[in-house]
Structure 1
Amino acid sequence: MAEIVFEAEPHPDTRAAILDGLLAYNAAKTEGRFGAPRTIALALKDPETGASVGGLTARVSYSRMFVELLFIPEHLRGKGLGEKLMAEAEKVAKDLGCIGIWLDTFSFQAPGFYKKIGYQEFGAISDYPPGFSRHFFHKPLS
């Protein structure tokens, strides 16, 4: 029998044991048809300093791209960068053989934006965080 031990911050060996075991299990169940998950980024760079100021990160696995994080600094909002980032993410996803993109967003973030650019809501969690909701979107890529 194994004992359960709480780690407030996962030890790297713990994370590796969980991730490696899960990836091996998933590869066996999917008969190795999909490559290992990978993470990509589309960075927004300051043209003067070259520093990253925002952008998006996404994980590609099992024929879909999951947009993990998307951030555009306040001073750059309203200039079409969100649409450009998502269009580029869709292009990258297609180039990597994905058939769809999914993501989640809070009600105080951008559910209307994702609907506007063709994403369909497939679920929501009410009162998460309290007083708000979390929305899940998907867009098939053809």
Structure 2
Amino acid sequence: MEKYQKIMVGIDGSEQSKLALERAIQLAKLADANILLVTVQNDAKFVALAGGASATYRMDPVMLDDSRQQIRDFLEKCTDEVKQAGIPVDAKIYYGDSKTELAEELPKKENVDLIVLGATGLNRLERVLIGSNTNYVVQNAKCDVVIVKDPADNK
């Protein structure tokens, strides 16, 4: 079995993505691997999640900028955490459909050999969407995938 060299972690700001990051750090230490932190933003989906707005609604540019800044800040915190663990890290924000980006495009583009994702997202509606994203990644990724569940979900 070959060692993992690059571990991609899907980051969305949720507790689940924090748990995924913790697991990725553990795995990277064991495999002496690098970590790639990624978030895939889809502004249309964000609008629907933020307020259930119709597809014709256009998000206020200030709100959109704020949401993008929040994810940049979160990625920066995550990057610092990985660096403190002594692991080489890179963080990137991509735009598009998270399912195909996480499962197909990014692993190929970034030479990823392991994907680590949280099992659910930020809120109830997003859990349905993220859950379907997670399922899509598991079914379609050409590399190994680790899904991290919250220990509280097992109680």
Which structure has the highest strand share of the two? 1
Which structure has the highest helix share of the two? 2
User: Of the two structures, which has the highest relative contact order with CA contacts closer than 8 Å and spacing of 6 or more?
Assistant: 2
* Length-normalised TM-score, structure 2: 0.31
